[in-house]
Structure 1
Amino acid sequence: MELLAVEAAGRGMAVRAAEELGPVVGPAHWYGGPLAGAQLADRLGFALLEPVDDWLAELPEEFTGRQVRVGTVADALALDRPMFVKPPRDKSFPADVYADGSRLPAGLDPGTPALFSEVVTFAAEYRLFLLDGRIATASRYAVFGRLDARPLRTDGTDRADRAVGAEIAEFVGRLVAVAGHTLPSAVVLDVGQLLDPYRAGHRWAVVEANMAWFSHAYAADPGRVLDVVLRAAGPREWVRPGDLAFVRS
């Protein structure tokens, strides 16, 4: 958040915390949580773009590398085997592998949406900030589930980075060609190197899609991250026709 604030201030934008807003003049953008964003959207006139809840579940398995389905917390509570469970859009409960439904946090609303996924292993995971179906900037953020952020520089001298970047670009190109219309024009896509015990090496798969205005930049380029955030959470009258279906209600 601080990196984006510095970048925005360098562009002549006024940066304010939600609790210190005061009078606001001119177009407003948002970077922060969904609850506060929803409360301020009408007052400040911005629109929040986000993927639909069942986006990952509707993707062909060639892009997910695993079976994914959408349900509710009630379905999760009925699980009798290990499953990765997460909320589709917010952080109403921790995304994790649960041994069974009894391990979920107590007190959850049974009607809360949930995504269910087979348990798989990602060797490395990367965060991609997409703008108009192209990667604006990217960062690795985890290795075998542990935080390990580093920039993904595809134009440098590091041969491994270039190879990974080329593989990711090819994978995203195929995904956008098939399902680009199912995502907002400004969005975050997490992808990973999926290990398969029955196949040598790795293959790329989508981890999830997220709202750019509520996604950690990790080691991605802050200026390019800000470009994506400004589109994903900007004035309602600036929303493009193709993005209207992705405006958070």
Structure 2
Amino acid sequence: MNTSARTLFLSPRTTATGRALATAAHRRGIPAHTLREWRVPAELSAAPGPSLYAGPLFADAVAGDQGLSLALLEADADWLARLPLELTRRHIMFTTLAEARGLRRPAFVKPPNDKSFPARVYRDGSGLPGPDAVDDDAPVLVSDIVAFDVEYRLFLRDGEVLTGSRYATGGELDVAPLDADPAREGVLDFAARLFAPGVPALPSAVVVDVGRIGEDWAVVEANAAWASGHYACDEDAVLDVVLRAAAPAAAPGLPADTRFRRPVATVVR
């Protein structure tokens, strides 16, 4: 789709990444609108080629056919758990929150594609939210506890790293562009392994966080590009990925991306 016929929408929550994307969009002549409420005003509902940068809850509220009518791409909820051990360097289980509440050991537990509860190390399953807060059948990833020495965020399109950023060292925030990092080639070489034959597929536009554990590289997690902070990534390249990851539902898109569309609300007419 021609980016000159696109429109970028932002959530009411102001973020550094939202501001950076709006700046990049304006440089290309792409209108950028901040939605002030959890709905799309009538005067903006017919904006050409809508895209969105927002958190999952807000995206769910405005991306359906009663709003922006978007195809929001995200990795399969169980993608991380299906990766081979040589790409994760830890055991990861995909299960339900009800099952995870039965854990009797420490583990890192997170919801795969939203923020329904905090992603962190839990002493055991008793610390997880109860059914009054989060549904029993909510999907979760349960991981062995590891410590990443350094972590990087990568914005990928069509299997290529368009831009990247270091974001943590020793678990502490440490932001720098990937191009200025001495481990750049190691990061890119490892990222290429994610698209080798037999590795579970990803959407054509996605964010993947990777890191180093000792001498080994490993995947941290996958994230939706339309909801990910950019750290020190190049904002123009980030916009390229977001425009693909949140595109009009009626646009042709790539056939392989159909399975990666996030379910959003629809209206029965």
Question: Normalization by structure 2: what TM-score?
Answer: 0.84
CA contact (8 A) 1:140 1:151 kept: yes
Matched, 1:244 2:258: yes
Matched, 1:144 2:170: yes
CA contact (8 A) 2:52 2:246 kept: yes
Farther-moved stretch of structure 1 (89-98 vs 71-80)? 71-80
Amino acid paired to 2:248: P
Q: Which has the higher helix share?
A: 1
SS at match of 2:51: coil
Aligned to 1:118: 144
CA contact (8 A) 1:189 1:206 kept: yes
1:52 to 51, 76, 99: 76
Matched, 1:183 2:202: yes
Amino acid paired to 2:257: D
Aligned to 1:5: 22
Give me the whole-angstrom Cα distance separating, in 1, the residues matched to 2:168 and 2:151: 5
Amino acid paired to 1:246: F
Query: Could you tell me how far 1:180 is from its partner in structure 2?
Result: 6.2
Q: Which runs of 5+ in 1 are unaligned?
A: 155-160, 196-201
Amino acid paired to 1:18: L
Query: Could you tell me how far 1:11 is from its partner in structure 2?
Result: 1.3
2:53 to 13, 24, 31: 31
1:215-236 deviations in Å (ceiling 9; x for gaps): 0001111110110000000112
Amino acid paired to 2:187: I
Paired residue total: 236
1:3-30 deviations in Å (ceiling 9; x for gaps): 1111112211121122364312211001
Amino acid paired to 2:233: A
SS at match of 1:230: helix
Aligned to 1:226: 239
Query: Could you tell me how far 1:58 is from its partner in structure 2?
Result: 0.6
Matched, 1:206 2:219: yes
CA contact (8 A) 1:89 1:210 kept: yes
**Identity across matched positions, percent:** 49
Matched, 1:93 2:107: no
Q: Flag the 1:10–1:147 CA change in 2: closer, same or farther, 3 A.
A: same
Give me the whole-angstrom Cα distance separating, in 2, the residues matched to 1:238 and 1:10: 26
CA contact (8 A) 1:133 1:180 kept: no
Amino acid paired to 1:99: R
Amino acid paired to 1:72: T
Aligned to 1:173: 192
Amino acid paired to 1:139: S
SS at match of 2:150: strand
